[in-house]
Every structure is written in C-alpha cells, then in structure tokens.
Structure 1
Amino acid sequence: MDFFLISLGILLALFGIVGAIIPGLPGPPISFISLILMNLTDNITYSESFFFTFGFLALAITLLDYYVPIYGTKKFGGSRAGVVGSTVGLIAAVFILPFAGIIIGPFGLLGIILGPFAGAWIGETMAGTRGDLALKAAFGSFIGFLAGTLVKLVYSMAIMIIIVIDIIKLLFS
C-alpha cells in the first residue's frame, strides 16, 4: 500500500508542477494532495502545523493567481479584454498550436511565454485600445501571468523537493 501511495504522491506532485504552468489545472492544490498521500504512508509523517502552513499557502496562491494577472493588466492600463485575451493566448499556445503541429520553441515553452502577451495585445486591440496602450496593457498582463506562474511553480517545486528528500530518507534509513 505504501508503494502505491508514494507512487501516486509522486505522480500528483509532478502533475502539480505541470498545473503550476498550465492554466485551468490547479497546481498548488494538486501538489498539496500529494503531501496528504505521502502522509498516509506508514513511514512518512508531517506535523499539523506543516499541513496548515502548506494548505493555507495552496489556498492563498490559488486565489491570488486569479487576481494577479488582472492586477497587472489594470496597473498597466488594460481592461478585462486584455485579461481574457491573455488567458486565451496561453490556452492556444499550450493546447491548440501543438495539435496543429505548431510548436514554438523547445517543448512549446516560447509559446507559453508569448501566448499570454499576444493574446492580451489582441484582446486590447479588439476592444478598441490604441496600439501603444494595448501593448502596455499586454505587457502588464504578461507580467501578472509570469508572477502568478512563478509563485505557483516555486510552491509546487518545493513540495516535490520535500517528497524527494523524504523518499531518499526512507530508502537510506
């Protein structure tokens, strides 16, 4: 049973890292669930304060992730159209372009970076925003997206590191 829980915990931690990058997948909560699974094993135990801290962080990061791109766009003079365009651009870069055989950069990473920016710019332009202001708003949306993604990625990677360290301790104890 421990092998199954540890294997599932590792898979969810990896999926949490992917979810930290791809919108629509709740990376931090998935990573947190991997910690719960690891704690259900006979040999790995985390304290209540550990769970409270990481659970609170998962919730806070997930909620802030919805706000940060909006804040970035608004801070740089953008509108809701820029935020929506940024999300559509990212989804296009991650899901639609690869299925069409278009992969921008190694593993599509350049598309993940350029997609939100291009989408925000297109959204602002379609909403009637002037070229220079649309570009500025797109940059704000892009900065907000990067900030949110970075925080989610750091959280999910930290959990993966904790799990790897615990597995190494388990193997060599």
Structure 2
Amino acid sequence: MDVLGWILVIALFAVGMAGAVYPILPGVVAIYLALFVYGWFFTFQHYTVWFWVIQTLILLVLFVADYAVNAWGVKRLGGSKASIWGSTIGLIIGPFVIPAFGLIIGPFIGALIGEMLAGSGPGKAMKVGAGSVLGLFSSIVVKVILQLAMIVIFFIWVF
C-alpha cells in the first residue's frame, strides 16, 4: 500500500505541475489533494496547523493570481474588460481548438477580438493581445514557483 500511496502522491504532484502550464488540468488543486492522499495512506501526524495555513494561503494566492496576472497583462497594455474576457475565453478554448499552440494563440486572439469589439483599432488590439500573452507567461512563472513551494514545503514537513 505504501508504494501505491507514493505513486498517487507523485502523480498528483506531476498533474499539478503540468496544470501550471496547461490550464485545463486542476493544477494547484491536484497538489493540495496530494497532501490529503499522503495523510490517508500514511499519516496526518506530520501536518501542523501552520502547515495547513501555509498550504491553504498558497492555494488561495494561486487561485487569485491565476486570473489577476492575466488581467494585469491585458490591462497594462491598455486593454478593456472585453479584452480581458476574450483573453480568458481564449485561454480556455484555445488548447482544444489548436492543440499544439492554442495555449498561446487562444488568449492572444481572444484579447484581440475582445478589444476590437470594444471599439479599438487593430494596432491597439494587437498590443493588448500581446499583453495577454505576457500575462499568461507571467502567470505560468508565478504558478510554477508557488506550486513548487507547496511541494518543497510538503517534503520538508514530512521528512
């Protein structure tokens, strides 16, 4: 049973890290679930109140940052609410429509269309689309760092 427990924990960590890049996967939720899987298979004894406070705060920061950083990229380059919505929709739909490059092209096209619908010209819409890609890459960096922190904290606390 120990081997199965570790396989599940590591698999959830891997899904979590993949979710930092591919937004369709549960990301931070998978990492948080891995903490419970470890407890169910082994013990919750290693976890203190501070462990849960730290992990839950990181989880909440990641939920907020996931959307806020993308919106920041669009807003920074003058995007409207329509372009933020378009970027978010493109981020969700893009990987399904264009599997290899949809993660980048989706938010760009979504922000571009959203900004055009808001009445901006093509030049500004292209600039805002680029901002959505900048926000996406910034969001990925933040998620990778914080999710790795969750995993490292787990290993420090357990061992």
1:30 maps to which residue? 30
2:91 maps to which residue? 90
Distance apart, 1:136 and its partner CA? 2.1
For residue 128 of structure 1, give the secondary structure of its aligned residue in structure 2.
Answer: coil
With over 3 angstroms needed to count, the CA separation of the structure-2 counterparts of 1:57 and 1:164, relative to structure 1, is: closer
User: 2: distance between equivalents of 1:128 and 1:78?
Assistant: 11
For residue 78 of structure 1, give the secondary structure of its aligned residue in structure 2.
Answer: coil
Question: Which residue identity lines up with residue 110 of structure 2 in the other structure?
Answer: G
CA contact (8 A) 2:16 2:27 kept: yes
Counterparts of 1:103-118 in structure 2 under 5 Å? 108=100, 110-118=101-109
With over 3 angstroms needed to count, the CA separation of the structure-2 counterparts of 1:136 and 1:45, relative to structure 1, is: farther
Structural RMSD (CA): 2.9
**Equivalent of residue 138 in structure 2, options 140, 147, 152:** 147
CA contact (8 A) 2:51 2:157 kept: no
User: 2: distance between equivalents of 1:113 and 1:46?
Assistant: 40
* Identity fraction in percent: 34
TM-score, normalised with respect to structure 2 = 0.79
1:14 maps to which residue? 14
1:103 maps to which residue? none
1:119 matched to 2:110: yes
Deviations 1:36-73 (A, max 9, x none): 32234437964422332122111111122122222222
5+ residue gaps, structure 2, are none
TM-score, normalised with respect to structure 1 = 0.73
Question: Which residue identity lines up with residue 82 of structure 1 in the other structure?
Answer: S
5+ residue gaps, structure 1, are 99-107
Question: Which residue identity lines up with residue 112 of structure 1 in the other structure?
Answer: L
For residue 152 of structure 1, give the secondary structure of its aligned residue in structure 2.
Answer: helix
Question: Which residue identity lines up with residue 66 of structure 1 in the other structure?
Answer: Y
CA contact (8 A) 1:35 1:159 kept: no
Distance apart, 1:34 and its partner CA? 0.9
User: 1: distance between equivalents of 2:155 and 2:104?
Assistant: 28
